[in-house]
Chain A
Amino acid sequence: MEQIKEELTAQLENPTAFTIPIFGGIPVSQSVLVSWILIALLALAAFLMTRHLRQEKPGRVQLVLEWFVELINGMCKSNIGGHGRSFAPWLGTVALYIAVANMCGLLGLTPPTKNLNVTLALALTSVVLIYGAAFRFKGFKGGFRQFVEPVPVLLPINIMEIVIRPLSLCMRLFGNVLAAFVVMELVKLLVPAVLPAILSIYFDIFDGLIQTVVFVFLTALFIGEALEEA
């Protein structure tokens, strides 16, 4: 039991992969390294798959790409409205990143989203997007007015939400991935074969995709709320 506990604690650490020896050393954590690999893979895949796009008679790969882009566009349009298209590429990028980050456990990599700092960074960018949207599309005054809507009494709650929203986004993603990771590690320690493979379908693929959808959907929902015409 002690041994399991020790191993689990070791697995939950976020070790530094290496340190860039400039400016007194910039540490690069394992999560960031894995992210780089995933980004490289995503970019390569996107580059290879979009080389021969055709307007008429699209191929199978193109149909999948079109399906994905239209899914993101539609999601943004229905939740954000007229300005949805401006946010679609970013939210699509975030969706791709979270999805591959959650599922890269299948490839034997440690999911970057298991690191609280990664999910925190994701949540921070979302919050910048959510509160920046009103400033961008409703002007400086409109940007501040979002804190006194729908009624000025809600001002304190609206201000608290600036912290609560990213915290909940961050913790939800982190908690789910961490829990899945812990459960998977425990199962792997107890039953090394077959069962982890079956469970990983649920924890890595299903839960990973669900959390991706939840994160992106909530971000879009909050942006739509901020841009809503009062």
Chain B
Amino acid sequence: MLDIDPYTILWTVVNLLVLYLLMRKFLFGPVNAILDGRAKAIEDGLTQARQQQEEAQQLHSQYEAEIAQSKDEASQIIAQAKAQSEALYQRTLADAQAEAKKLLEENQERNLRDRENMLRSVRQEVAQLAVVAAEKVAVDSNQAIDSFLQEAGDQK
């Protein structure tokens, strides 16, 4: 029962080594490969996810900066346009005012000239009329004198 048998000891060691090689080939090797592969896949997935998240964050901040910049630009453009339109308005208004003033002055001048012309022609006409009237009066008075004299002479 308790006798030492070197052959059995040796055989058992050999058996264990053979079983070890078999198990490593058919059990621990393949299963560990699967486990390691899965662990690696998960780790890779996590790393990738983290990387993508970082990328997304970066893109996000980039877009935000771009949006802020565009907003700035837009307000700048709007302000510029406003200033431009204001200037244009002012210039156009000034032009129009100047034009109107000029027109008004021209009109006044023409009116004045017309009036003067009219006055002059009226004066001429009146003078002519006066002359005509004077002539007529002169003729009439001559005749009256003549007729008076004739009458007076007749009476005598």
Residues of chain A whose beta carbon lies under 8 Å from any beta carbon of chain B: 9, 12-14, 26-29, 31-32, 35-36, 39, 42-43, 46-47, 49-50, 53-56, 58, 62, 65-66, 69-70, 72-73, 88-90, 92-94, 96-97, 112, 115-118, 120-122, 124-125
Question: What is the CB-to-nearest-CB distance from A97 to chain B, in angstroms, rounded to a whole number?
Answer: 6
Contact B31 A66 (CB under 8 A): yes
Knowing A69-B28, A89-B28 touch, does A46 contact B35 (C-beta < 8 A)?
Answer: no
**Chain A proximity of B63: nearest CB distance (Å):** 36
Are the C-beta atoms of B38 and A117 separated by less than 8 Å? no
- Chain B nearest CB: distance from A213 CB in Å? 18
Give the residues in chain A near B1, CB-CB below 8 Å: 9, 12-14, 116
Residue on A with the closest CB to B8? A117
Given that A35-B12, A55-B41 are known contacts, is A27 also in contact with B22, CB under 8 Å in the complex?
Answer: no
Contact across chains for B12 and A118 when beta carbons are under 8 A apart: yes
Q: Which residues of A contact B4 (CB under 8 A)?
A: 116-117, 120
Nearest chain A CB to B38's CB is how many angstroms away? 5
Q: With A28-B11, A32-B8 given, is the CB distance from A66 to B18 under 8 Å? A: no
B41/A97 in contact, CB under 8 A:
no
Given A43-B22, A43-B26, A97-B19, A50 and B11 touching (CB < 8 A)?
A: no
A42-B23 in contact given A29-B5, A121-B12, A125-B16 (Cβ < 8 Å):
yes
Considering only CB atoms, which chain A residue lies closest to B2 in the complex? A116
**Which 7 A-B residue pairings sit nearest by Cβ, starting from the closest?**
A121-B12, A117-B8, A46-B26, A89-B28, A46-B27, A32-B11, A43-B22
Given contacts A29-B5, A32-B8, 10 further A-B contacts (CB under 8 A): A43-B23, A43-B26, A49-B27, A50-B26, A50-B31, A62-B34, A89-B23, A90-B20, A96-B23, A118-B12
Most chain A beta-carbon neighbours within 10 Å: one of B8, B22, B32, B35: B8
